[in-house]
Amino acid sequence: MSETVISVRGLTMGFGDHVVMKDLDFDIGKGEIFVILGGSGCGKSTLLKHMVGLYKPMSGTIAIAGMLMDPDDGETFRRILARIGVMYQGGALFSSMTLGENVALPITEYSGLRGRAVDDLVRLKLRQVGLEGFENHLPEELSGGMKKRAAIARALALNPEILFLDEPSAGLDPISSAELDALILRLNRTLGTTFVVVTHELSSIFTIAGRVVMLDKTTKSIIAEGDPHELRDRSTHPFVRRFFNRQPEMET
């Protein structure tokens, strides 16, 4: 694997007395498209939210570019946030703002740029996701796929090294989903961005993922890691084989 940019060690996640996942260990290399997957309710999105600092671990550590993720350490946390971008489920665009204003928001908040420089950067980011010319449109005027691409443009606004995507294909038709997969691959290839993606969409997993980890809510652990094609064809774990081959559990 290439240079490690994210390192998770002994991570236990939970709320109150309820443990969601325990003792997770994995690394993510620079420039990877790394996918977190598993059955419904296993903790995929919860893991992503821990990795971007929205939730604090019960125990264990998460390091981004060699810096420990700790929202209580304000200076280090700000340095980490400058290196990551996040696209949440549904896109989370501000409905009262145009696309241009949505993308401009993190730029004006964190870069110190103003005026023409912001406008030029907004146009560049929208061009990168195929939405050039839509700066003045409101989110309600866009299709589902366009909203997802706009959310990626906003996540890219500050040129992050790492981009976290939470269920990017959810709710999209097959063609829009395939177009989004192609966009992720293109951005990864042209910008060298590391992607961490939460999804359960098999077609997207097989198209974009270089490596995956599979979470299991029964054992509260990682039950598989590696190339999804290899896991589909060679895994000896029954759930892993059923998941990748879209097979129901057989009744006994």
DSSP codes of every residue in 8-64: EEEEEEEETTEEEEEEEEEEEETT-EEEEEESTTSSHHHHHHHHTTSS--SEEEEEE
Domain contains 104: yes
H/E element, 249: none
Domain contains 69: no
Domain holding 153, by residue range, is: 92-159
Residue 251 has a pLDDT of 52
In angstroms, the Cα distances linking 202 to 24, 89, 168, 235 are: 23, 17, 13, 16
Mean pLDDT of 209-225: 96
Domain contains 70: no
Domain contains 18: no
Domain contains 97: yes
Domain contains 231: no
Number of domains, the chain: 1
For 117-152, write each residue's pLDDT tens digit.
999 999 999 999 999 999 999 999 999 999 999 999
Domain contains 64: no
Q: Alpha-carbon dihedral of residues 18, 40, 186, 7, nearest 10 degrees?
A: 30
For 24-59, write each residue's pLDDT tens digit.
999 999 999 999 999 888 999 999 999 999 999 999
Domain contains 47: no
For 103-112, write each residue's pLDDT tens digit.
998 888 877 7
